[in-house]
C-alpha cells in the first residue's frame, strides 16, 4: 500500500480516475488495518490500529461517500463502535450498532 500511495501522490488528484484510485487506496487500507488487528487477536491495547482504520475509511468517504452503495457508512460505524463501544440502552442486551429503531425495521 505504501508503494501505491507513493505512485498516487505523483498524479493529478483532480482527474476522475485518480480520485477513484485515492478512494480505493483509503478504503482498502482501512479494511486491511482492521482485518490485521482482528487476525492478531483483537487486542484492545492495540486499539490505535483500529483508530487508524477508522480514519482511513473516513478519508475514503470524503472522496466518495456513496461507493459500494454506502457500505463504508456501516463500516465506519462498526469501527467507531469498536473504538468506543456504546452502552446498552434500556432493556436491550446489545447496543444498537446501526442506529435503527423498530419503526425503521418494521414500519
Q: Can you give the three-state secondary structure of 12-40, one letter per residue?
A: CCCCHHHHHHHHHHHHHHHHHHHHHHHHC
Exposed / middle / buried, residue 3 (Cβ in 10 Å: 0-12, 13-18, 19+): exposed
> Burial letters for 26-61: b for 16+ Cβ neighbours within 10 Å, e otherwise?
bbebbbebbeebeeeeeeeeeeebbbbbbbbbebbb
pLDDT per position as a tens digit, 35-92: 999 999 999 999 999 999 999 999 999 998 888 777 888 899 999 989 988 776 665 5
Q: What is the pLDDT of residue 102?
A: 74
Grid cell, residue 18, equals 485518480
Dist. CA 10–CA 32, nearest whole Å: 23
Report which of residues 73 and 104 the model is more confident about: 73
Tell me the HSE value of 61 on the side-chain side, using a 13 A CA sphere.
17
> Confidence class of residue 1 from pLDDT cuts 50, 70 and 90?
confident
Q: What is the pLDDT of residue 31?
A: 95
At which residue does the C-alpha cell 483508530 appear? 51
User: What pTM was estimated for this model as a whole?
Assistant: 0.77
Q: What is the pLDDT of residue 35?
A: 96
Report which of residues 2 and 50 the model is more confident about: 50
Report which of residues 100 and 23 the model is more confident about: 23
Amino acid at each position: 500500500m505504501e508503494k501505491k500511495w507513493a505512485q498516487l501522490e505523483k498524479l493529478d488528484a483532480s482527474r476522475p480516475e485518480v480520485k477513484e484510485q485515492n478512494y480505493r487506496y483509503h478504503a482498502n487500507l482501512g479494511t486491511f488495518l482492521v482485518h490485521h488487528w482482528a487476525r492478531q487477536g483483537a487486542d484492545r491495547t492495540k486499539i490505535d490500529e483500529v483508530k487508524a482504520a477508522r480514519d482511513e475509511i473516513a478519508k475514503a468517504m470524503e472522496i466518495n461517500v456513496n461507493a459500494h452503495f454506502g457500505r463504508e457508512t456501516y463500516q465506519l460505524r462498526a469501527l467507531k463502535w469498536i473504538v468506543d463501544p456504546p452502552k446498552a440502552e434500556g432493556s436491550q442486551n446489545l447496543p444498537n450498532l446501526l442506529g435503527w429503531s423498530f419503526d425503521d425495521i418494521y414500519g
